[in-house]
Structure 1
């Protein structure tokens, strides 16, 4: 996968944790999962995608 190994992915994870904070990582992971799911649905031609407004 683009030449990324375990050391590179762990360095990226540490940088993301420093930028966003450890407490927000699950929230970011969930948002990324929904984005990928919606992209797959849109590329398959399905009309329904999941939309949710951001809560403050």
Structure 2
């Protein structure tokens, strides 16, 4: 089973585990929130560019 990043569940778990070790459990929600905001920004920018190209 693959997720959105095309990595396996085991690889996802390993990455999360390393992130917790490096950043600590209290920083993980803040980092995830920042990543979510970044992804939303990129999606909006992509849609805006697509809309301008369609004209």
- The structure whose Rg is larger is 2
Question: Relative CO higher for 1 or 2, CA cutoff 8 Å, sep ≥ 6?
Answer: 1
Structure 1: gaps of 5 or more residues:
47-56
Structure 2: gaps of 5 or more residues:
50-55
Instruction: Let me know the Cα RMSD of the aligned residues.
Output: 1.4
User: With structure 1 as the length reference, what TM-score do the two structures score?
Assistant: 0.73
Q: How many residues align?
A: 45
User: With structure 2 as the length reference, what TM-score do the two structures score?
Assistant: 0.74
- Which structure carries more helix by proportion? 2
Moved over 2 A (4+): none
